């Protein structure tokens, strides 16, 4: 094959000066192309399309608060319901992407049936939904799959799962609490400080400003401000630095589809969570009223697995591991593990899914999930 003109120029000393100029021009063209790609990608990650599910599934139930998604499984054993976080982002965090899916990890372990609570963004008609409404519909979901299930609570889905286990102990065969704030007074994380230092009137004003709902966009701004340098500048610098790395771009786009599409929450639910759980810590104290009864964690006697992240600044390890002493489960039937990484990584981090969750899946199988 003949050399290209540019290759010939660089092979002959006479043309070295011209080759240098052409090289500079090419670098300029490349910088311009990279700049155009950066503008396009920056717009894409700032206002991305909604996230999608990575694993095929069907909607088993379409309730007021959620769609119960059924991902199938081996067909035997107790159903496993992943109670996804309901704190302002999509439940797709449980099935984030190929290679980063908790759902797929549990299915690969041969569990009988895996489902996810796909919480809905609160429309105007949902503004008065309270915590009881959500507990009642988790109960309906359990009834729909046979009346007994293993609950895997992620983040805020953890305290909801624990409440259901306390209210209906015979219906919950085992409980996994991953990054779940059970004792909200434990530790000294920024969420705890924010809940105690910000007056309840401020939260009420935020709900009132959104016509009785807590705006997901407003919560997203608050989360970003916890790591402002990273969120408002750092991620765009990283994007430009990796603009020619297609794998990096695809991973970033997938994450931003989840992160930049927040859910609105019912105002009543949100204010109850802030006041009764994070300010007064009533659930840990055994004083929370749920579905007509005072809920006590001592009524939760099923086997339990506690998972926390060593660098989690959303739900500190103390808030998760406090459950060991609060649950009525015998200590011999409680497992706990401190994993490497932060909060979101507990649910979708590649290393956590590869190194930690297969062991939890085996534990779930031993509790009847397989």
Please give the Cα distance from 327 to 368 (Å, whole number). 20
Q: H or E element: which one contains 339?
A: strand 334-339
Closest C-alpha to 116, from 94, 88, 100, 133: 94
* Residue 160 DSSP SS3: helix
Q: Residue 34 — φ and ψ, nearest 5°?
A: -60, -40
pTM, 2 dp = 0.82
Q: What is the 3-class SS of 69-138, one letter each residue?
A: EECCCCCCCCEEEEECCCCCCCHHHHEEECCEEHHHHHHHCCCCEEEEEEECCCCHHHCCCCHHHHHHHH
What does each of the 370 residues of the chain score in pLDDT, given as a tens digit?
Answer: 444 333 333 333 443 444 444 444 454 544 444 443 433 434 444 455 788 999 999 999 999 999 999 999 999 999 999 999 998 889 999 999 999 999 999 999 999 999 999 999 999 999 999 999 999 999 999 999 999 999 999 999 999 999 999 999 999 999 999 999 999 999 988 888 888 899 999 999 999 999 999 998 887 766 555 555 554 444 444 443 444 445 644 655 667 777 778 899 999 999 999 999 999 999 999 999 999 999 999 999 999 999 999 999 899 999 999 999 999 999 999 999 999 999 999 999 999 999 999 999 999 999 999 8
Query: Could you give the angle at the alpha carbon of 63 between the alpha carbons of 61 and 64, nearest 5°?
Result: 165
Three-state DSSP class for residue 185: coil
């Amino acid at each position: 094959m003949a050399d290209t003109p540019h290759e010939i120029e660089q092979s002959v000393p006479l043309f070295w000066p011209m080759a240098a100029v052409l090289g500079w021009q090419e670098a300029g063209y490349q910088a311009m192309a990279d700049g155009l790609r950066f503008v396009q990608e920056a717009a894409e990650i700032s206002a991305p399309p909604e996230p999608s599910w990575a694993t095929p599934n069907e909607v088993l139930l379409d309730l007021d608060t959620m769609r119960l998604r059924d991902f199938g499984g081996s067909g035997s054993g107790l159903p496993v319901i992943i109670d996804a976080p309901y704190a302002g982002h999509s439940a797709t965090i449980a099935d984030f992407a190929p290679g980063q899916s908790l759902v797929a990890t549990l299915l690969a372990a041969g569990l009988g049936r895996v489902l996810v609570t796909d919480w809905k963004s609160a429309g105007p008609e949902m503004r008065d939904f309270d915590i009881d409404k959500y507990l009642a519909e988790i109960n309906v979901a359990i009834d729909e799959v046979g009346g007994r299930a293993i609950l895997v609570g992620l983040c805020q889905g953890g305290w909801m799962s624990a409440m259901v286990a306390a209210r209906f102990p015979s219906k919950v065969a085992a409980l996994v609490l991953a990054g779940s704030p059970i004792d909200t007074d434990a530790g000294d994380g920024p969420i705890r400080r924010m809940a105690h230092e910000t007056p309840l009137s401020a939260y009420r004003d935020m709900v009132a400003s959104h016509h009785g709902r807590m705006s997901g966009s407003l919560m997203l701004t608050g989360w970003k401000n916890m790591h402002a340098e990273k969120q408002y500048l750092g991620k765009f610098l990283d994007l430009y630095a990796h603009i020619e790395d297609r794998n990096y771009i695809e991973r970033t786009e997938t994450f931003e589809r989840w992160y930049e599409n927040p859910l609105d929450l019912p105002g009543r639910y949100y204010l109850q969570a802030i006041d009764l759980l994070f300010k007064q810590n009533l659930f840990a104290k055994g004083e929370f009223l749920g579905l007509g009864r005072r809920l006590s964690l001592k009524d939760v006697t099923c086997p339990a697995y506690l998972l926390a992240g060593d660098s989690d600044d959303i739900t500190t390890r103390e808030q998760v591991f406090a459950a060991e002493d609060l649950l009525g489960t015998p200590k011999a039937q409680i497992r706990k593990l401190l994993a490497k990484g932060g909060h979101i990584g507990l649910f979708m981090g590649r290393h956590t899914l590869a190194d930690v969750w297969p062991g939890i899946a085996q534990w779930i199988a031993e509790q009847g999930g397989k």
